[in-house]
Amino acid sequence: MSRESKCNFRYVYMFGLFSVVFIVFALFTFGYMPGNMLLMTDQYEAKPEVVRVNATFCNPSEHDELSDINVIDKMDTEALYLTFSRYILTKQIKCCNVSRAGPGNTFGKNICLDYFNKMQNRCLVYSFGSQFKFDFENAISKSYRCEIHTFDPSLSTEGVHIPSGVNFHLIGLSNTDTIFSAPVGFRGEKKWRMQSLLSIRKSLKHTKRFIDVLKIDIEGWEWKALPEILQSGVLNYVKQLCLEVHFGYDIQIIWNGNRAVGYRHLNTTWGNVAIQNQLQTLKRLYDHGFRIFMSDPIKQWATYHLKQTKKSIDTLVEISLVNIYNQ
């Protein structure tokens, strides 16, 4: 063999060896990529069972979990409020890409874009409680073109403009399917049609789809609805939850004409649900994989003043959560 042939052979041999090493390296480095690609496909077409995945949110936060349910049962009122405040204001996971859907007031909500399904006409959003304020829905529709369903049974739609991107339903969220009589003196619909999330999802033929964002702002009645949602398993199909929490004792607004000038606490609780049970519901949300990535206290409204510790607790708090078991 000539020197030139040996040289060519050497180059071919080295190229072949390099190719083999590169292929082996690529297989080891990207070996899970087909699985990830399959996951990206699966998130659009939900399966009957819950797919639990180790979500890779950037820099998960260190935080304390709520006490065991039996411990919560034995807490006095001050301990319940202090535990609630510590828990609800703790960022449990860090979202790298937070987007505000709507304005900075209570009509807007925070969305975590790290795992939000932004494929056109793929994402699904349920919004409970609107009073015909569609800032949140309009922002979602404009940016992501999701399929949006908004629910509120309290006001008549007569003469109201519903945005083209919103499917509006005169239905309220509850723990059962029923007709609810509006409070005495309420200016609006006198009979409210209420349904569970399980029934709503079935009626809309969404039982095989994930809800990318579930927004609940229903003035304290979340404590009635959430236990049923947890019990039914529907929450396993929810990826993000925007929840306005009304904790502890209910309030009565003090009016001066058409202007709210203050409030006072009542002896009844929000949703007529015991404070221990409210805290236990938050515990169950955590156990089902929901982690708080944003907390926004609604200042100057419903602040509860503790007598023993002299602390003031914000009891109206907007929290934004992601389901780490379903990303």
pLDDT at res. 37: 26
Close Cβ partners of 325 (under 8 Å, ≥ 6 residues apart): 50, 52, 53, 55, 236, 288, 289
pLDDT above 60: residue 40: no
pLDDT at res. 31: 38
| Position with higher pLDDT, 307 vs 187 | 307
CB 263 within 8 A of CB 241: no
CA angle 240, 241, 246 (to 5 degrees): 165
CB 150 within 8 A of CB 130: yes
pLDDT at res. 145: 82
* Mean residue pLDDT across the chain: 82
pLDDT above 90: residue 313: yes
pLDDT tens track for 203-248: 999 999 999 999 999 999 999 999 999 999 999 999 999 999 999 9
**pLDDT band, residue 16 (cuts 50/70/90):** low
- Average pLDDT score over residue span 185-196: 82
pLDDT above 90: residue 46: no
**pLDDT band, residue 187 (cuts 50/70/90):** low
Which stretches within the chain are classed as H helix? Answer: 3-29, 33-42, 69-73, 77-88, 135-144, 197-203, 222-232, 275-287
**Residue 118, CA distances (Å) to 271, 294, 327 in order:** 35, 20, 13
pLDDT above 70: residue 301: yes
pLDDT above 50: residue 176: yes
pLDDT at res. 83: 95
The pTM of the full predicted model, rounded to 2 decimals, is 0.79
Task: Give the Cα separation of 275 and 301 in Å (integer).
Answer: 18
pLDDT tens track for 75-111: 999 999 999 999 999 999 999 999 999 988 878 999 9
- Average pLDDT score over residue span 194-205: 97
pLDDT at res. 44: 31
Q: Which two tokens stand for residue 306?
A: 């503790």
Kind and range of the H or E element at 243?
strand 240-246
pLDDT above 80: residue 306: yes
**pLDDT band, residue 58 (cuts 50/70/90):** low
Beta bridge partners of 284: none
How many residues in the chain?
327
pLDDT tens track for 114-138: 877 665 568 999 999 988 999 999 9
Task: Give the Cα separation of 22 and 217 in Å (integer).
Answer: 54
**pLDDT band, residue 193 (cuts 50/70/90):** very high
